[in-house]
Structure 1
Amino acid sequence: MKVLTESILRREFKNKLPEEYIVKSNTLVTPSASQYLREKRVKLVTEKKQQKEDNEDIKINENLYKSPNISDKKIAPKYISYYSQGAFEEKPEHMTQIYGNKLVDKDDPRIVFRGKLDSLQSQVLKLQVLVDSKNISKLNQELEEVLNYIREILRAEVLNENFKRSDLIGLNEQKLREISHKPKKFLGVDHILPNYKMGVIIIELNSLRSSVREVEIAAINAFKKGFQIRRLDIIKALNRLSSCIYIMMCKHKAGLYK
């Protein structure tokens, strides 16, 4: 039995791309080779003539396949589908790595969640530029802490680690919750109903707070399996982050960053 791999096709197609590619009936075509042919729009044709099976037994499992040229030597595929465990020698354009060499579609809920976290970081950085131009150093220091907090959440998800941090801008989880619920008691200002007259800083902070809520929803979609929710540590961290940014809005309104 022969094995047709993507690397073999790439060598054969180096100078000319055929309209169809003919293989013998006993040829094993790897998933990555099939994907490559589809991408190049080359029709795969199998010879109808029956041929005697080769004596060599080539076994295929979820992760490894034996080379037809090197006896008993196992070759690990470069990439593996997270869904089907199929092997790929090259990363398909519509897929990306989720853990190690495992690939998922780019619209996988976990990749969408990571993308939302990336966008959130960009939004913080943009706000920092604005705050820096207005010389509000105390607020910028807290935004830098928020930025690092977001990056720690991303790291915990990518590395499949528990998110252990419980404090933010000098406040523990309990204080973040209390102050965000009772800003009048702790900061001397009423709850904020944003309007354009409050100025660009509060409006941008409010936009950041709204984005955190969107990331939280993306996290629930990513970690929900049936009626079970995994990664409650990350969802809780995002909830506290939203409270933190609301507190920052109230602190700015109260003039505490001057």
Structure 2
Amino acid sequence: MVVTEADLREQLRRPTVGAQVVVPAGSTLTPSARDFIKQWALVEVTAPASEATPTTTERPDGTWDRASQFPVDLTGEQPRCVCCGAQPDSKASSLTQLNAHHYAPKTHPRIKLRGKVDSLHSLTLMVQGLASRRGEAGLAAALGSLAAYCRELTSAEYNERPADPFELPGWSSDELHRATHDPSGVLGIEHLTIDGADDELQHWLNIGRSTTRELEICALETFDSPHHPYGASICHGLNRLSSVWYFLQLAWKRGGVL
């Protein structure tokens, strides 16, 4: 279990110096959570995981695959700069919010990664629109799930929590893995070797796949430890997402998504 600064603030509502916060046994504190404890000289109280207050890693609605909504919460105290710890009176144009309580330079690795996920999200929505206009309802719905997962990855990175695993309606993670490694056995077609004669939609799906592979490399550079408390799940999610793009290519070639 990962405990974020937002989890601690949810417990305290209004922090005071020396207040107690409950930290589940065996949990990991994010860097901003540790800074928050240090800033307010908070006293950590360890509790069994079964008795601890639920953290933001749990979904009250049970799913990330939902319609887009404006993600920014403008309530709370003014963010601090991760470079100097200060709370600037006004934000310089070279800074942006790293999380709900910290500014960071726009050259920060996480901000670079976030921008690339944003670009993938835009590409996914564009391809979804193309599929929808072509009357490919099943493909458009699947691409909608991919777009929603881009939003899940951004939310996980911003809130410093593990990302939920990707799921495509009607296909388990294991089934998707088998389909992309043995398309002949699962889908009845061979691995793809597309060329310039292929349909435009197939090429856009291929761009989505290759873009996601590049993005996975960026994520691995940002979170280079396989034991990172939340970054490892983002890297894994992007790895699976590139496979899903390939699955959609295969399904399109076969003549249907599901």
What amino acid is the match of 2:88?
Answer: F
* 2:148 is the alignment partner of 1:160: no
Deviation at 1:164, TM superposition (A): 2.6
What SS does the aligned partner of 1:103 have? strand
C-alpha offsets along residues 29-60 of structure 1, whole Å, 9 cap, x if unaligned?
xxxxxxxxxxxxxxxxxxxxxxxxxxxxxxxx
What SS does the aligned partner of 1:188 have? coil
Deviation at 1:228, TM superposition (A): 6.2
What amino acid is the match of 2:248?
Answer: M
Structure 2: gaps of 5 or more residues: 1-37, 41-75
Other-structure match for 2:148: 148
What amino acid is the match of 1:125?
Answer: L
Q: Distance in 2 between matches of 1:102 and 1:257?
A: 42
Q: How does 1:77-88 map to 2 (within 5 A)?
A: 78-88=78-88
Q: Distance in 2 between matches of 1:104 and 1:97?
A: 6
Q: With CA pairs under 8 Å and 6+ residues apart, which has the higher RCO, 1 or 2?
A: 2
Q: Distance in 1 between matches of 2:257 and 2:228?
A: 38
Other-structure match for 1:171: 171
Deviation at 1:127, TM superposition (A): 0.8
Other-structure match for 1:7: none
What amino acid is the match of 1:183?
Answer: P
Compute the TM-score of the two structures, normalised by the length of structure 2. 0.66
What SS does the aligned partner of 2:197 have? helix
Q: Distance in 1 between matches of 2:181 and 2:207?
A: 19
What amino acid is the match of 2:145?
Answer: E
Other-structure match for 1:193: 193
Overall identity of the aligned pairs, in %: 28
Q: Distance in 2 between matches of 1:110 and 1:173?
A: 27
Other-structure match for 1:210: 210
Q: Distance in 1 between matches of 2:129 and 2:193?
A: 25
Q: Which has the higher strand share?
A: 1
Deviation at 1:202, TM superposition (A): 0.8
Other-structure match for 1:246: 246
Moved more, 200-209 or 96-105: 96-105
Structure 1: gaps of 5 or more residues: 1-61, 65-75
Q: Which one has a bigger Cα radius of gyration?
A: 1
Between the two proteins, the alignment pairs up a number of residues equal to 185
C-alpha offsets along residues 61-85 of structure 1, whole Å, 9 cap, x if unaligned?
x979xxxxxxxxxxx9844220221
Q: Find runs of 4+ consecutive structure 1 residues off by over 3 angstroms.
A: 76-79, 227-230
